Structure 1
Amino acid sequence: MLIEQAAYANRWRGVSPAAKAAFALAGLLAAFAAVSPGAALRLALCSAVLTCVGAGVPAGLYLRVAAPAVGFLGLSCVGLLVAVDPDSGWRWAPEAWPQVAALAGRSLAALAALLGLVLTTPLSDLIALLRRLRCPAVLLDLMVLCYRMLFVFSQAVHEVRTAQQARLGDATLRHSLRSLGQLTANLALQVWQRALALHLAALARNGDGSLRFLTPQFAHAGRDTALAVLAGGGLLMLARWPS
């Protein structure tokens, strides 16, 4: 829920999602076009600074959201530095460091570009943008339903955990394992029942078409998009600048 918290509370909330998506796309292209790991790291730093300083996303929240992806990337890079030889078996492969560094730098730059988009744009705005881009309605409906079910799932977890803690369900290791099993079974049942109820409610309203929502209007959308394209061009130039 940290992503939604930042998406609704940042200073770029009123900026057109098309502009933010164009800038994020330019960041992704720049990440792949980076001439060196140093250039990719500059791109990642630039995108992170723009998100935290320009959009006003707290640095602590940004780091908490980025930490799982960065940790996964670090573990992947360690795995890429291990080679298997038929004779000596497992060994470190320092000769692969240039390729690993390039991969890590580009991945960080791409991650920063995507975080700049999702931390400043609510999912409802992104879905409205995708609908204007003629994305399949079935895909968008699935995105909306999964998004809504995440909040239902989170609330159900909170309610069950509160009830278990009130009954000292974590008093011992045995009780904790039993509570975890009951939590898993209860959540599976609750999510299935609520999804079925949502489907029946849609059928009762003759909901045989795509889901529709009010599309917000953004002032100065053309100006924002033009500025985003110019800033994206700056990122592409920065990516080609030698270290």
Structure 2
Amino acid sequence: MFALDIAAHTGPWRSRHPAEKAMLSLGLLACAVALPPWPGALFSGAAAAVLLVGPARVSPAVVLRAARVPLLFVATSTVPLLVTMHAPARLTVNAEGVVPAAQTAGRSVAALICLLLFSATTPLSDVLPRLHRLGVPPAVTEVAALTYRMLFLLVDSVRAVREAQAARLGFRTWRTAYRSLAGQAGAIFVRAFSRARRLEEGLALRGYTGSLAVQVEARRVSAPFVAATVGLLVLIVAVSVVVGSQW
């Protein structure tokens, strides 16, 4: 399993209703997007980070590992705001773009942390069955669940093929490495296609009619948690308005 999935299944918030965690993380995300970058996005991201490594008990190493690729995307996306292209093909630093770049990066990082707060505390298997009550078609949720399941099978196939190639000295030189990568892609495609066909045949033999019956564990929404979430969001908005008016 991926590190975020392990954290979501083993964390102390595993037994909480997904609606509670969605209200908290999406509420902080709305504050990070709607409020000014300073101080609204800063407070929202800081609150999400504290909750993530504090009450949710997610390891900082897991958070950094999950955020490294999005952070790289944020860093590369802010570069065009910092430079200006002059003819003929001459780059110069744009002093006026420092503030917009910092605001964009700050808001993006805060939004990322808010999303990680939800994904690192809520397994996808708890969310998808409950989306039917919100009017999401069953076909959408079932395709998402099957795709999510196939990801783990695909990762296991990649690991098995790579270990077999490494045991046969398939990565000894650059030439053998390229050949092994080509063979790895072909073998993984064949395995994925075969698994998908067997899955389709299995569903057909079990009388699949367009929806899968899944038992959802009954969980009660915690009123104190909801009240604390509303209080936190109101506090962030109030402090952001007060501090922002002084700048």
The TM-score, its normalising length taken from structure 1, stands at 0.92
- Number of aligned positions between the proteins: 243
In the alignment, does 2:175 pair up with 1:186?
no
Distance 1:227 1:41, change over 3 A: closer
Distance 1:122 1:184, change over 3 A: same
- TM superposition shift of 1:86: 5.1
In the TM superposition, what whole-angstrom CA distance separates every residue of 1:120-156 from its partner, at most 9, and x where no partner exists? 0000112133222121222211210110000110110
2:243 partner SS = coil
In the TM superposition, what whole-angstrom CA distance separates every residue of 1:31-60 from its partner, at most 9, and x where no partner exists? 122224344223212211111111110111
- TM superposition shift of 1:197: 1.2
- TM superposition shift of 1:92: 2.1
Distance 1:120 1:103, change over 3 A: same
Q: Following superposition of structure 1 onto structure 2, how do residues 115-154 of structure 1 map, counting pairs within 5 Å?
A: 115-154=116-155
- TM superposition shift of 1:115: 0.4
Check the 8 A contact 2:28/2:233 in 1, yes or no: yes
Distance 1:6 1:156, change over 3 A: same
- Alignment-derived partner of residue 98 in structure 1: 99
- TM superposition shift of 1:241: 4.3
Q: CA RMSD in A?
A: 1.9
Query: Take 2:227 and 2:130, find their aligned partners in 1: how far apart are those partners?
Result: 17
Greater relative CO (CA pairs within 8 A, separation 6+): 1
- Alignment-derived partner of residue 19 in structure 2: 18
- TM superposition shift of 1:230: 2.9
The TM-score, its normalising length taken from structure 2, stands at 0.90
1:218 partner SS = coil
Residue identity opposite 1:13 in structure 2: R
- Alignment-derived partner of residue 44 in structure 2: 43
Query: Take 1:165 and 1:174, find their aligned partners in 2: how far apart are those partners?
Result: 14
In the alignment, does 2:35 pair up with 1:34?
yes
Residue identity opposite 1:164 in structure 2: Q
2:104 partner SS = helix
- TM superposition shift of 1:223: 4.0
Please, which moves more after superposition, 143-152 or 123-132? 123-132
Please, which moves more after superposition, 209-218 or 181-190? 209-218
Query: Take 2:79 and 2:156, find their aligned partners in 1: how far apart are those partners?
Result: 37
1:84 partner SS = strand
Long gaps (5+) in structure 2: none
Check the 8 A contact 1:18/1:129 in 2, yes or no: no
Check the 8 A contact 2:139/2:210 in 1, yes or no: no
Query: Take 1:29 and 1:181, find their aligned partners in 2: how far apart are those partners?
Result: 44
Distance 1:39 1:224, change over 3 A: closer
Query: Take 1:32 and 1:238, find their aligned partners in 2: how far apart are those partners?
Result: 16
Distance 1:214 1:241, change over 3 A: farther
Distance 1:215 1:235, change over 3 A: farther
1:91 partner SS = strand
- Alignment-derived partner of residue 228 in structure 1: 229
1:22 partner SS = helix
Query: Take 2:236 and 2:126, find their aligned partners in 1: how far apart are those partners?
Result: 24
- Alignment-derived partner of residue 219 in structure 2: 218
Residue identity opposite 1:178 in structure 2: R
- TM superposition shift of 1:179: 0.6
- TM superposition shift of 1:221: 3.6
Query: Take 2:113 and 2:139, find their aligned partners in 1: how far apart are those partners?
Result: 29
Check the 8 A contact 1:26/1:233 in 2, yes or no: no
2:170 partner SS = coil
Distance 1:63 1:30, change over 3 A: same
2:150 partner SS = helix
